Amino acid sequence: MKIKEILSVFIFILLIFWSLPGCKKSAIEPEIIHYSGKIAFLSDRYGRGDIYIMNGDGSEQTNLTNNSNYYYWHTFSPDGSKIVFTSNRDGDFYAEIYIMNVDGSGQTRLTNNPNEDQSPTFSPDGSKIAFSSIGDDNFGICIMNADGSGQTNLTNNPNRDDAPTFSPDGSKIAFGSKRDGNNEIYIMNTDGSEQTNLTNNPNEDFGHSFSPDGSKIAFISDYEIYIMNTDGSGKTRLTNNPAIDCLPSFSPDGSKIAFRSNRDGNAEIYLMNTDGSGQTNLTNNPNDDDWPVFQP
């Protein structure tokens, strides 16, 4: 048999071998994961910050705000029908808090203060919105009714308190604070009492998200994503690369965490399992995509 014929037979056999179960290259390729629900996120792909929504596999990315002003820090209502967000869409120097339907319609202003109001988040029953408000050069954690009435400052601290997040049972609010000289994650009762430092270390800790069962908090420490118990114990690192990984958000079923990373040269929305495996780029476009939040 000629050498050319021998090579042809060898290549044919090799192709059959690689087609057999368990012999494909997928065994050493990175795990690609998806989620079946929706994710809202921020993107500057049209030269400004707009709020988008997409499927959990990254498909059907749709602009909800489509406005020349800047939008950011958005969260869903517990029933998934509304999105509360921060914007300067009315031309104010300081941003205010707004609410809209999940299709982008019905955008309504909730706050109207001389201060900056931002980082709104719904209570689990949908009746309250916690947010941070700047006044006298510091941020405080405030709470209001879902229609914007009854605004009350909970922390009243001379240092910066921001980014409140309700626990799934509605009994606690986690928030970030610089009262100890660096960013730490605190937790308190919803009336502002028993404010407790959970992270308590010299690194910068912020950007927290409760797991749906309330047992865990995902957070950022020195731009890597960690997970811990809600009492601050059991801190475990989930990401480990030289890029900036931040803004973790648990999926409603608790199986996935969406986050923002610039590991591919610009900010993109990624998805991973809650043990840190299967880190997958969902957005894949040349502009910056930020602030992933799952629809309940």
Residue 288 and residue 48 in contact, taking contact as beta carbons nearer than 8 Å:
no
Q: Burial, 205: exposed, middle or buried (Cβ in 10 Å; 0-12, 13-18, 19+)?
A: buried
Count CB atoms within 10 A of the CB of residue 111. Answer: 22
Query: Average pLDDT of 40-51?
Result: 86
Residue 271 and residue 287 in contact, taking contact as beta carbons nearer than 8 Å:
no
pLDDT in tens, 252-294: 999 999 999 999 999 999 999 999 999 999 999 898 999 999 9
CA distances from 246 to 147, 223, 224, 249 (A): 30, 6, 7, 9
Going along the chain from its start, the domains and CATH numbers come out as: 3-294 (2.120.10.30)
The tokens for 214 are: 């309330």
Q: Strand order of the sheet with strand 50-55? A: 62-63, 50-55, 38-43, 289-294
Residue 35 and residue 251 in contact, taking contact as beta carbons nearer than 8 Å:
yes
Identify which has the larger pLDDT, 201 or 120. Answer: 120
Residue type (1 letter), 167: S
- What confidence category does residue 15 fall into, taking pLDDT thresholds of 50, 70 and 90? very low
pLDDT in tens, 81-137: 999 999 988 777 788 999 999 999 999 999 998 888 999 999 999 999 999 998 655
